[in-house]
Amino acid sequence: MTFWERIYFPAILNGMRITFGHLFRRKTTVQYPEVKREFSDIYRGKHVLKRDDEGRERCTACGLCAVACPAEAITMVAAERKPGEEHLYREEKYATVYEINMLRCIFCGDCEEACPKEAIFLTKEIVKSEYERGKFIYGKAELVEPSDPARRIDISKRQTPEVLAFKKNKKFKHNK
Amino acid sequence: MENSFIIDKLYKAFDQDILKMDTSSDVLSFIIASPVVHDVISFLKNDENMNFNFLTDLCGIHYPDRGLPLGVVYHLHNLTENKRIRIKTFVTMNEPKVSTVTDLFSSANWMERETFDFYGIIFEGHPNLKRILNVEYMDFFPLRKEYPLEDPTREDKDDRYFGR
Amino acid sequence: MLASFILVLSLLVAMYSTLIERKVAGWFQDRHGPNRAGPWGLLQPLADGAKLFFKEEFMPLSADKFLYILGPSLTMFIALLTSAAIPWGPDLIINGAAYPLQVADVNIGILYVFAILSIGVYGIMIGGWASNNKYALLGAVRASSQMISYELAMSLSIITIVMMTGSLSMREIVAQQQGFNWNIIYQPLGFLIFLICAFAETNRAPFDLPECETELVGGYHTEYSSMKLGFYLFAEYINMFISGAVMATLFLGGYHFPGLDKLGLSPNVFAFVSFMVLFTKITLFGFIYMWIRWTLPRFRYDQLMKLGWKSLIPLAILNVVVTGVVILLNQ
Amino acid sequence: MFTQYIFHFLSIMALFSAVMVLASKKPIHSVLFLTLTFFSIAGHYVLLNAQFLAVVHVIVYAGAIMVLFLFTVMLLNLNHDERSPKPMWVNIMAFIAGGMLMLTLIGIFRGYDIQSAQDPMTTQIGLVKNLGKILYHDYLIPFELSSVLFLTAMVGAVLLGKKEQI
Amino acid sequence: MQKETPKYNKSEPPEGYTAPGIFATTFDKVIGLARKNSIWPLPFATSCCGIEFMATMGAHYDLGRFGAERLSFSPRQADLLMVMGTIAKKMAPVIQQVYIQMAEPRWVLAVGACASSGGIFDTYSVLQGIDRVVPVDVYVPGCPPRPEQIIDGFMKVQELVANESLRRRYSAEYKELLEGYGILK
Amino acid sequence: MTDILDDKQYTTLNLGPTHPATHGIFQNVLTLDGEQIIDAEQTIGYIHRAFEKIAEHRPFYQITPLTDRLNYCSSPINNIGWHQTVEKLLGVKTTKRIDYMRIILMELARITDHLVCNSVIGVDSGALTGFIYVFQEREKVYEIYEEVSGARLTTNMGRIGGFERDLSLKAVKKIREFLDHLPKVLHEFEKLLMRNRIFMDRTIGVGPISGERALNYGFTGPNLRAAGVDYDVRVMTPYSSYDDFEFIIPVGTQGDTYDRFCVRQQEIWESVKLVRNALENLPEGSFHLDVPQFYLPPKEAVYSKMEALIWHFKIVMGEIEVPVGEVYHSVEGGNGELGFYLVSDGGRTPFRLHFRRPGFIYYQAYPEMIRGGVLSDAILTMSSMNVIAGELDA
């Protein structure tokens, strides 16, 4: 230690100068409930079960997401599509029950990646807290996106440019 | 330091007790008979040509199908020449006893306790061999293959849908 | 009447100091600080107070019941006592009679303040001991040894003032500092020592060892809940306020400000303005307290002792000797 | 008279707390009662128009010495100790010593003429200026000698304290 | 699937919120408002969520805006027990002890998947949700939750605090709830 | 009186597990003489989560989220270390672009880890403000993580054989902004603490350990380097093309708290340089390996090609063909050598996976380091060792 360090004051005054400088600086705080901080486009928040352009559910209940889930939070029950339900479900199989236990879920995004039917995506929305544990079992009512085209959830930013380009030019095999 | 040099020296010193040697893996590894494992590690640490002075890792392993199911794996590191070596030793289920290396490496203390905690391998001469991570009153060794992973009290899961 | 006014003032100031402290801390740290309770968080102290008041009164089973309650009450009581000797302003003229803005002009005002300060530690010690908790006890022990050690240097630094002014009365000391004749100009070292000791006596960072959170959880008040805790926390702010007042009175000219008496104000307005001057000075000290707290790391127990005994006391003695010599030469 | 009542109150408090110092079970309580005694005595000083003495009494005894006592008692944690019963001869000795002190006091007060005492409020001896004058004029040498004595005692105490560690 | 609705732990809904019962005196409301703005949390941060809690205390989110930056590490002084991170079975008695030491009124916020339900750690050593040992008022999902979510949960607690009757803590239901957890005071 | 002095009354003080400075999870039972520490006994395992047992039940890619939670202050290092371990087992070699991207993210992670540690030393010594200043910078790193992987803390970043997506332009911009702004804040932080005598008094000579003892105790990382041994996995066994870059390994002399603080601080500066270098020299190329057996086929292929769909199913189900064997791979984690000992029997899950957690190994030395110090020293020593609970208890 030099003499100046030994007598405390230069360092203390220096420190006080720094903190004083911050006194009048613009505050970094984002006043959360009123102002929302910008989320990244690929933020992994609440899930959504997408519908296709015609408003049919894309999920085919293959179960890959449930297998891929490290938290074992996804449960589904598959059923065969009956004639006359083509306007509801895109594939021949669909999930009658699709539940995600949001308390178990760790939002790792593995389900989104595992899905071969671009049915499940994570969104920028956050999952709200609740008073009861039971309310965290999100069923299809909470997960499936609204069929109203105006209230669709845009997930195009989560997809790679390659996928987007592909979608523009080609028809999906399963979109027939 | 060449592999062959280590192999020569080790075989010269412990010819009978080296059960297996593996040079194909990323790290030169030996399987040593359990009674001499302390001597081997002591030799590796203290011999001036070997000088493996750093115990990188120590952990247990359990092969339920083998004759000697419980194993201890040591990873040693010669920091001056940057050479790693892996020593393994296996013991029976009934008498899982290996002599401790805490006298050589202080770091082995907790790692051996952890191995005891997980696999029930008893390190003879360890100063304080008791459970470290789990609760004291636990009556099984959880990482042995026969014990399940899951907490049996969990209620909000239905196993039928996961295909595990 | 004046006494009750001062009492209410101290309580009010202490209440709002808690808010100001949190706000200032926020501003130093690029945050806003409390702003949800009322506009700009102005109702925050009331919320805290009401909450503390309606919190469960908790008494540890193994505590010494009487002393456990005595501790915080004593702290609060002693903290409020000090303000009596401080001259808050020049005389107020009501119906031709002069009323001094001072509760009691004791001829040994400094010593009175000092005596009260020196027994201020009892509340902390008793409370810390009575909780029957090791952290609390450690906090109490730290508090007592810290107080005793820093009192010495503090009194030595006051002695120089007494030597210069030749009086123990606060009022007279203030009177002598009229204009810009402030003691700080003649006694910078004494002021510095007093300032440091004041930090230590009020248990503020960097000397907040008796309650330092990261080491002793809550220190002496670890076991206290509800209003008893409130008393302890309040007392700290009252102590800050009072020590600021003492420092302003002894070193910064009290309620005097250069040029103020030449403005030709009517006596009562002058008294009020003077009082505001003193109050501003106290606020300044309060700000410095907070500024330091949110800037510096805290000392270690033994380093604190070393600083007190090996640096401050020798310096203070030197200061006394130098002052004595200068006074002698001037005579 | 008002001061009379205060005097009585303070005296009773002083005596009561002095007795409680001996009687209370916990050492901490004893120390606190001792502090209370000092405060009552300080009050008496004020009644005698000796504010300086009162305040110094508070600062020195209550503020410093008793804090140290309290500090030590807290650290030693004598709370739970079982004080072994003292041997008989200690009790007898204590009784004799105490009795002799009492006899002496009685002897002194018997010869004291209360009427000749001055009215305390008229004396100015307790005020700082007078006290200072007396101490530094009339009794300068005894005063300085006593301070040297204290210094010696302090050095001795430090030496003893050091010795303990060796 | 209806009949196989999973059974959940005994975590009663905080009845001050669901059962209208006995509140809404003006006095209760005022005190509720005061308490709401002066919640001193006891951060029981064991793992990842603790780091996000630090972020919540930091300048970007500033929990201090809600009057909650005065962390009280002593349970006596705390109003809200924020459990953040995995609670192993070894830790369970500790957390219960801390809860018992807290002075009434007290609330519990389970932050993150691990504290609420065990999360991915469905193992022999992890407690599957702290509501097995202490009554939980609000659950915050996420692993770890974003600071936004923590603040969201905190505001839920505030809502609860503001609407709670002063007498709730003396009610028989509350005693029963505590007895259900083996906590008696 | 003498017998009281002779047989000294030692107090036992229970530090933790809920003590503020133990950050939740360690219990230290201290034997105190006054405030001086005579001895300490540790209890750990308060958040033991059985990582190694879970790992035996999960396919390889699902272990990545587990590694997040080891040293959660620097999860990308753990993620990438695990991926490299599997790559080593599979025998695939990554390209330069992947390596450089990994270096960028790992060094950012190291910065965040060290920032947390050093600012927490500040907090524990009573200076809260510096902590808040540097945490604002940490938020920026979180934003970068979010841009790269979609999460703030537990990133689940990258895949076996590369990354799940390329560095976006926004991410690169954010990294550059961060690199430009960080030095200012770091300077401020250092001015607040580093040469302040109060802080120096608090830390110099506190909790020292000699290089020899440190090695014997299995210290690695900044704590070992503070004791004067320049062992760094990044240099000793270069992985992920670290040998393309030049950087200084800061070493201390005393192994005390101040040295640990300074070493970490210096490493932040070196990491800043490394990130900048890696970003400037980032080669063109693919962000993932083209190994259809292990790396998920691109989504557009899954949607249209049968073959890709089959691969996709196989990989997600975990049915990839893994060679039988065992590997040990280590990376320089935030706290030191983070090792993965992976034994595979060819199944869909590891047969045995052992994490060499540096925190677990060096925390044993804590009693020896604090013996003779006072209570305050014990607390600063603990925070300067940067023991992360997730890593300690696994």
Q: Is F139 on the interface with E (CB under 8 A)?
A: yes
List Cβ neighbours of A155 (8 Å cut-off, separation of 6 or more).
A48, A50, A121, A123
Which of C25, C206, C301 is the closest to F374 by Cβ? Answer: C301
| pLDDT higher at B1 or E22 | B1
User: For chain A, what are the domain ranges?
Assistant: 47-171
Which of residues 49 through 78 in chain A touch B, CB cutoff 8 A? 63, 66-67, 72, 74-77
Structure-block tokens of residue D34:
């001792």
| For residue E23, pLDDT beyond 60 | no
In terms of C-beta density within 10 A (0-12 exposed, 13-18 middle, 19 or more buried), how is residue A41 classed?
Answer: middle
Confidence of residue F3 (pLDDT cuts 50, 70, 90): very low
End-to-end CA, chain E: 41
| For residue F6, pLDDT beyond 60 | no
pLDDT, position D149: 92
Question: F51-393 belongs to which homologous superfamily?
Answer: Cytochrome-c3 Hydrogenase, chain B (1.10.645.10)
Q: What are phi and psi of C72, to 5 degrees?
A: -65, -35
Per DSSP, the three-state class of A99 is strand
Structure-block tokens of residue C268:
């009562």
Please state, in angstroms and rounded to a whole number, the distance separating the CA atoms of residues A110 and F154: 13
How many Cβ pairs within 8 Å bridge chains C and D?
Answer: 64
| For residue E17, pLDDT beyond 80 | no
CATH architecture of B3-134: 2-Layer Sandwich (3.30)
How far is the CA of F139 from the CAs of D57, F112, F128, in angstroms? 58, 9, 17
C-alpha gyration radius of chain D: 20
Q: Is E2 on the interface with B (CB under 8 A)?
A: no
Over residues C233-289, the pLDDT tens digits come to 888 888 888 888 888 888 888 777 777 777 777 777 887 888 888 888 888 888 888
Over residues F130-141, the pLDDT tens digits come to 888 888 888 888
pLDDT, position E11: 42
Residue of E nearest to A69 (CA): E120
Mean pLDDT of C42-51: 84
Cα of B33 to nearest chain E Cα, Å: 33
Cα of A53 to nearest chain C Cα, Å: 45
One-letter amino acid of C180: F
Inspect the interface and report whether the beta carbons of F127 and C29 lie closer than 8 Å: no
pLDDT, position B161: 47
Which of E42, E54, E83 should one mutate to test binding to chain F, selecting the residue with the greatest count of F CBs within 10 A?
E54
User: For chain F, what are the domain ranges?
Assistant: 2-43, 51-393
Residues of F in contact with B75 (CB under 8 A): 328, 339, 341, 356
Please state, in angstroms and rounded to a whole number, the distance separating the CA atoms of residues E38 and E66: 7
Residues of A with CB under 8 A from a CB of F: 1, 5-8, 11-12, 14-15, 18-19, 22, 28, 39-40, 42-44, 64, 67-68, 70, 106-110, 113-114, 116, 118, 122, 159-160, 162-163, 165-167, 170, 172-174
Inspect the interface and report whether the beta carbons of D164 and F5 lie closer than 8 Å: yes
| For residue D120, pLDDT beyond 50 | yes
Confidence of residue C128 (pLDDT cuts 50, 70, 90): confident
The segment with the largest mean pLDDT, out of C127-136, F3-12, F334-343, is F334-343
Weakly modelled stretches of chain B, pLDDT under 70: 151-164
Over residues C147-181, the pLDDT tens digits come to 888 888 888 888 888 888 877 788 888 888 877 77
Of F142, F171, F166, F165, the C-alpha closest to F155 is F142
Mean pLDDT of chain C: 82
Of E136, E138, E137, E120, the C-alpha closest to E128 is E120
What letter would DSSP give residue F23? T
CA pseudo-torsion sign B36, B42, B45, B49: negative
Over residues A2-11, the pLDDT tens digits come to 777 777 888 8
Over residues D48-77, the pLDDT tens digits come to 777 788 888 888 888 778 877 877 777 665
Of D64, D88, D160, the C-alpha closest to F1 is D160
Q: Under CATH, which number does the domain A47-171 receive?
A: 3.30.70.3270
Weakly modelled stretches of chain A, pLDDT under 50: 175-176
Which of residues 157 through 176 in chain E touch C, CB cutoff 8 A? 166
Assess contact for B42 and B102: CB atoms under 8 A. no
Cα of B23 to nearest chain A Cα, Å: 35
Of C284, B122, D165, the C-alpha closest to B112 is B122
Q: Is F21 on the interface with C (CB under 8 A)?
A: yes
Inspect the interface and report whether the beta carbons of A66 and B162 lie closer than 8 Å: yes
Over residues C2-17, the pLDDT tens digits come to 777 777 887 888 888 8
Over residues F110-165, the pLDDT tens digits come to 998 898 888 888 888 888 888 888 888 888 888 888 888 888 888 888 888 888 88
Per DSSP, the three-state class of E120 is coil
Over residues C65-90, the pLDDT tens digits come to 788 888 888 888 888 887 777 777 77
pLDDT, position E6: 37
Of D58, F323, E125, the C-alpha closest to C113 is D58
Which of residues 237 through 256 in chain F touch A, CB cutoff 8 A? none
pLDDT, position C177: 80
Q: Is A97 on the interface with C (CB under 8 A)?
A: no
pLDDT, position D164: 56
Q: Is F184 on the interface with C (CB under 8 A)?
A: no
Assess contact for C286 and C237: CB atoms under 8 A. no
Per DSSP, the three-state class of A168 is helix
Residue C94: count other Cβ atoms within 10 Å of its Cβ: 10
Share above pLDDT 70 across residues of chain C, in percent, rounded to a whole number: 97
Mean pLDDT of chain D: 79
Per DSSP, the three-state class of C31 is coil
Please state, in angstroms and rounded to a whole number, the distance separating the CA atoms of residues C301 and F35: 9
Inspect the interface and report whether the beta carbons of D77 and F9 lie closer than 8 Å: yes
Which of A6, A28, A29, A34 should one mutate to test binding to chain C, selecting the residue with the greatest count of C CBs within 10 A?
A29
Assess contact for C215 and C207: CB atoms under 8 A. no
Inspect the interface and report whether the beta carbons of E126 and F54 lie closer than 8 Å: no
| For residue D79, pLDDT beyond 70 | no
How far is the CA of C265 from the CAs of A9, C42, C269, C271, in angstroms? 41, 33, 6, 9
Share above pLDDT 70 across residues of chain E, in percent, rounded to a whole number: 85
Which domains does chain E show, CATH number per domain? 41-180 (3.40.50.12280)
Of C198, C181, C9, the C-alpha closest to C113 is C198
Chains that touch F (3 or more CB pairs under 8 A): A, B, C, D, E
pLDDT, position F5: 41
User: For chain C, what are the domain ranges?
Assistant: 58-330
pLDDT, position D148: 92
Cα of B135 to nearest chain F Cα, Å: 8
Q: Is E92 on the interface with F (CB under 8 A)?
A: no
Over residues E144-159, the pLDDT tens digits come to 888 888 888 888 888 8
Please state, in angstroms and rounded to a whole number, the distance separating the CA atoms of residues C35 and C48: 13
Buried b (16+ CB within 10 A) or exposed e, D86-117: eeeeeeeeeeeeeeeeeeeeeeeeeeeeeeee
- Residue F340, beta-bridge partner list: F329, F355
Q: Is E53 on the interface with F (CB under 8 A)?
A: no
